[in-house]
Amino acid sequence: GDSVTQMEGPVTLSEEAFLTINCTYTATGYPSLFWYVQYPGEGLQLLLKATKADDKGSNKGFEATYRKETTSFHLEKGSVQVSDSAVYFCALLHGSSNTGKLIFGQGTTLQVKP
């Protein structure tokens, strides 16, 4: 079945460092891909998305490119801030049916130190 694998955390960075969180997926067809972020005590917020191969999603300085050849959707940010500390989830939505079933990776905790 469909699945998403994220790099294990926690990831600890200093402020202004470069961030990469790896995400790979297994799915038939052409899924849509998402990054969600969860701050302590809150629900999930959509960070960015991409719906087809080679699409680049971007928001708040974060970027991710849908790479079908490597089945990847890695999250990057050039300069992280303390306020980016959160848990990041990669997710896919199967493209072949009108379903709302998101499949999530296990989440990666990011801690940014001043």
Partner 1 sequence: KAGVTQTPRYLIKTRGQQVTLSCSPISGHRSVSWYQQTPGQGLQFLFEYFSETQRNKGNFPGRFSGRQFSNSRSEMNVSTLELGDSALYLCASRKDSGKRDTQYFGPGTRLTVL
CA gap 64, 54 in Å, rounded:
10
Q: For residue 82, give the nearest of 42, 114, 36 by alpha carbon.
A: 114
In angstroms, give the least distance from the CB of 15 to partner 1: 27
Which of 40, 69, 97, 114 is close enough to bind partner 1 by CB under 8 A?
97
Which of 16, 46, 61, 78 is close enough to bind partner 1 by CB under 8 A?
46
Q: Does 40 bind partner 1 (CB under 8 A)?
A: no
Q: How many CA atoms lie within 13 A of 4 on its CB side?
A: 25
Query: Which residues are at the interface with partner 1 (CB under 8 A)?
Result: 32, 34, 36, 42-46, 49, 51, 89, 91, 93, 95, 97-107
